[in-house]
Amino acid sequence: MMPISPLAHVQAAVILAAIAALSLKLRFLDKKGVAASIIIGYAIIILGGLSYFAILLAFFIISSAVTRLRVRIIGELPIDKDWIRSWRNVLANGLAPTLTILISRLLLCDERIMAAGYLGAVGTAFADTLATEIGLFYRGKPRLITNFKSVEKGTPGAVSPHGYLGCIMALLIMAAISWMLGAAPPHLAIMLIPVGIIGTTIDSLLGAGIQGKYRCRECGKIVENPHHCEQPAEHISGLKWINTHMVNLISTSLGAILLAAAATSL
């Protein structure tokens, strides 16, 4: 592994302290979310470098801004998705990218493969986040990815044209940013687009299939949280230990593997 200069640690500490303070002030993250993001950010800056960190930061800033915009335009509806992001959200989206860098460094992987894995993970996370956010703007009822039946917004595995539009927008932004930062050559940035679409689709399939689903005893909605309307909801299908964050972690890891595999074969 490359030697890490003391300056890199100072640099990381200063950057992360500034971002942590700003995230708390703007209420992008709660306190535990800030703690998780400092650990993830530190690992990425030290093991990957600043351009890797900038990619994750862009994802975080854009998706937080889009969440705000969505809440302002259509209200806090219909799912209790984290408006202030928590440590679970930070880990669900940041763990696979961090592990990709860590594993690549430990295995002395080629920089190109590491970059591909990292982009595959962050790209899938970003695509899935914007798919959820932009999908909420869809006026009709989304359909379940497995049987195309109309379902309520916020049902795990629900898809809509707006959702896929959000997914593709995210991937185009991410491809452009990573290319501009020099983190990925053009062909890899382009490959990110199909990989991210596949990753997001897998996320929806897992959401519809194995993710735990509950029916609220009060309002009757099918929800992904074991609590709704301030009371425990009834478990109806899926595995209880597979929640939305776990599904995210699996799909972002698959995104990493797919783009790294594409980079090795190109």
Q: Which residues lie near Zn ion (CB under 5 A)?
A: 216, 218-219, 228-229
Give the shortest CB-247-to-Zn ion separation in angstroms.
Answer: 21
Q: Which is nearer to Zn ion, 155 or 178 (CB)?
A: 155
Give the shortest CB-33-to-Zn ion separation in angstroms.
Answer: 25
Q: Which is nearer to Zn ion, 86 or 225 (CB)?
A: 225
Q: From the centroid of its chain, how far is CA 27?
A: 18
Give the shortest CB-166-to-Zn ion separation in angstroms.
Answer: 26
Q: Which is nearer to Zn ion, 13 or 219 (CB)?
A: 219
Buried b / exposed e over 221-256, threshold 16 CB at 10 Å, is bbbbbeebeeeebeeeebeeebbbbbbbbbbbbbbb
Q: Which is nearer to Zn ion, 10 or 219 (CB)?
A: 219
Q: Which is nearer to Zn ion, 27 or 217 (CB)?
A: 217
Q: Which residue is nearest to Zn ion (CB)?
A: 216
Give the shortest CB-115-to-Zn ion separation in angstroms.
Answer: 44
Give the shortest CB-228-to-Zn ion separation in angstroms.
Answer: 4
First to last CA, the chain: 25
